[in-house]
Amino acid sequence: MKKDYPLIKKQDRAIYETIVEETARQTEGLELIPSENYTSPAVMEAMGSVLTNKYSEGYAGKRYYNGNEFIDEIERTAIERAKKLFKVEHVNVQPYSGSPANLAVYLACCQPGDVVLGLNLPDGGHLTHGWKVSATGIFYRTLPYHVRKDGKIDIDEVRKLAKQHKPKLIWAGATAYEFKYDYSEFAKIADEVGAYLAVDIAHIAGLIIAGAHPDPVPHAHIVTTTTHKTLRGPRGGMIMVTKRGLKKDPDLASKVDKGVFPGLQGGPHDHQTAAIAIALKEAATPEFKRYGKQIVANAKALAKSLKKHGMTLVGGGTENHLLRIDVSPIYGPGGGIFGSDALEVAGMTANKNTVPNDPGTPFYPSGIRIGTPALTTRGMKEKEMEKVGEWIARAIKAVGTYHLPSDNKERAAYIAKFHADSRKNKELLKIREEIRKFTKKFPLPHEKKR
């Protein structure tokens, strides 16, 4: 690390030191957040290239600025690689990230006030699928559907709501959902009411490419994704229009493009586009397919270990890359903050998250969301997941005496004391040292010999 970033070190010591500290955090800890991953050195190199200097408002061959002949070539390359990889008719690679991509779908398919269905956020849905504080819930009439007691989507409720309210757009996809999707059922419902079906695969794009998760493309009109997470690219987004989408609406591709620009964005981030193109090339390899399958195998092994060590899992396990631990049996309602912070002290990064029928609130949820994409990128397999599950359980139990006060006025002081106490907890510090030694065997991609 000391020989990296020499110009930053010379010009801005404060930022350099912070990068060094963040690198150490990533290197010496276990990244369990399922929406985070490690890019290849080539992807990072593109993100720091001269492409960041260019302004390219518009689309390839139709720019508002001159000097874009090479940028056009990069964007066309990214588009063609995505079309081939996902087997779709049209791709827009300009969205800055997943949320702008999803909002562009609303602009393409709906008018303000139109009815939209999406998975309820506390049940695992995403903000941009219509949650009330999101722009998507403010400007559109959004109705949530839910999961059943077993954690699976209540498809009967989706059909009932669709028939009753005749939505213009139906979202399938989630930010915290452990099961495979039955896209054909969503497609039938959309057809029954004349709605567009948009599938958000931000979390599972890499699994779909690897053949480790069902493919929505034959069933959806539009597919959106981020390019990080399981796709292992830079932070960015894509919108894909399928053959089925163009059959429903021959102008859908142009509507999507207009939704992105000029609807929401100005010039694209050209360095990001190049990095997306590189990631798509990497994703087309046999090695990546093995990687995607290993993510799922690791998640199932981690679930087995967690249950062995006394943890309660939403849905009893997982069918993809993601798990949610219900910590209410340990901390009571709203105790996700204790579990996620304890993991951080112990050298593991996760996030507090709602669970179905959560007795807490979205701000004080009763679960912890974890996943295996980043661990798998580092080369860990089922054997290592057994140990990771043990560490997670030990860390959660190490602060098991804490319970969130029911009186809101008491919470701030109680949580502050917990923070102070947990950072001196001998068991958590012991786990942290064990993990620090363990991670030396699993370097990050940029640390490996090139």
Burial of 438 (0-12, 13-18, 19+ CB in 10 A): middle
Confidence (pTM)? 0.95
Distance (Å, rounded) from C-alpha 293 to C-alpha 173?
A: 20
Burial of 48 (0-12, 13-18, 19+ CB in 10 A): exposed
Question: What percent of the chain stands above pLDDT 70?
Answer: 99
Instruction: Let me know if residue 4 belongs to a domain.
Output: no
Instruction: Let me know if residue 136 belongs to a domain.
Output: yes
Residues 6+ apart with CB under 8 A from 446: 38, 41, 44
Residues 278 and 249 in one domain: yes
pLDDT at residue 449, rounded to an integer: 58
Residue 340: give its domain's CATH number.
3.90.1150.10
pLDDT over 90 at 110, yes or no:
yes
> Mean pLDDT over residues 417-427, rounded?
97
pLDDT at residue 447, rounded to an integer: 79
Instruction: Let me know if residue 9 belongs to a domain.
Output: no
Structural domain that includes position 204: 47-283
Residues 178 and 92 in one domain: yes
Residues 316 and 202 in one domain: no
Residue 446's pLDDT band (boundaries 50, 70, 90)?
confident
Q: What is the pLDDT of residues 205-221, one digit of tens each?
A: 999 999 999 999 999 99
> Mean pLDDT over residues 330-356, rounded?
96
pLDDT at residue 362, rounded to an integer: 84
Burial of 32 (0-12, 13-18, 19+ CB in 10 A): buried
Instruction: Let me know if residue 62 belongs to a domain.
Output: yes
Structural domain ending residue among the three candidates 227, 261, 283: 283
Residue 206: give its domain's CATH number.
3.40.640.10
Instruction: Let me know if residue 352 belongs to a domain.
Output: yes
Between β-strands 196-200 and 222-226, what pairing exists: parallel, antiparallel or unpaired? parallel
Residue with tokens 């049209």: 90
> Mean pLDDT over residues 257-283, rounded?
97
Residue 1's pLDDT band (boundaries 50, 70, 90)?
very low
Residue with tokens 């690390």: 1
Instruction: Let me know if residue 266 belongs to a domain.
Output: yes
Residues 269 and 407 in one domain: no
The pair phi, psi for residue 289, each rounded to 5°, is -65, -40
Residues 157 and 74 in one domain: yes
Structural domain ending residue among the three candidates 283, 306, 328: 283
Residue with tokens 């006394």: 310
Q: What is the pLDDT of residues 364-388, one digit of tens each?
A: 999 999 999 999 999 999 999 999 9
Burial of 406 (0-12, 13-18, 19+ CB in 10 A): exposed
Here the contacts of 428-434 (C-beta below 8 Å, separation 24 or greater) are 428/342, 428/345, 428/346, 428/395, 428/398, 428/399, 429/345, 429/346, 431/346, 431/347, 431/391, 431/394, 431/395, 431/398, 432/345, 432/346, 432/347, 434/391
pLDDT over 60 at 59, yes or no:
yes
Residues 307 and 376 in one domain: yes
Q: Does 262 sit behind a cis peptide bond, omega within 30 degrees of 0 on the bond before it?
A: yes
Residue 3's pLDDT band (boundaries 50, 70, 90)?
low
Residues 99 and 211 in one domain: yes
Short-list 409, 395, 404, CA closest to 350: 395
pLDDT over 50 at 413, yes or no:
yes
- Say which DSSP state 127 is in: G
Q: Which two tokens stand for residue 213?
A: 């998760």
CB 382 within 8 A of CB 297: yes
Structural domain ending residue among the three candidates 283, 317, 338: 283
Q: Side chain identity at 140, as an amino acid letter?
A: Y
Q: Which of 3-7, 112-116, 167-171 has the lowest mean pLDDT?
A: 3-7
CB 168 within 8 A of CB 142: no
Residues 330 and 269 in one domain: no
Residues 246 and 160 in one domain: yes
CB 51 within 8 A of CB 390: no
Distance (Å, rounded) from C-alpha 263 to C-alpha 27?
A: 40
Other beta carbons within 10 angstroms of residue 390's beta carbon come to 16
Distance (Å, rounded) from C-alpha 116 to C-alpha 158?
A: 11
Residues 135 and 233 in one domain: yes
Summary mean pLDDT of the chain: 96
pLDDT over 80 at 116, yes or no:
yes
Among all residues, which ones are annotated catalytic? 55, 57, 200, 226, 229, 235
CA–CA distances in Å: residue 336 to residues 203, 346, 400, 421, 426: 21, 15, 11, 17, 21
The count of structural domains within the chain is 2
Residues 373 and 329 in one domain: yes
> Mean pLDDT over residues 397-418, rounded?
95
Instruction: Let me know if residue 34 belongs to a domain.
Output: no
Residue 448's pLDDT band (boundaries 50, 70, 90)?
confident
> Mean pLDDT over residues 383-409, rounded?
96
Q: What is the pLDDT of residues 124-141, one digit of tens each?
A: 999 999 999 999 999 999
Q: Which two tokens stand for residue 126?
A: 């995403």
Distance (Å, rounded) from C-alpha 274 to C-alpha 277?
A: 5
Residues 120 and 243 in one domain: yes
CA–CA distances in Å: residue 70 to residues 79, 112, 444: 14, 38, 31
Instruction: Let me know if residue 364 belongs to a domain.
Output: yes
Residue 173's pLDDT band (boundaries 50, 70, 90)?
very high
Q: What is the pLDDT of residues 239-253, one digit of tens each?
A: 999 999 999 999 999
Half-sphere exposure of 152 (CA within 13 A, CB side): 11
Short-list 269, 364, 211, CA closest to 51: 269
Q: What is the pLDDT of residues 187-204, one digit of tens each?
A: 999 999 999 999 999 999
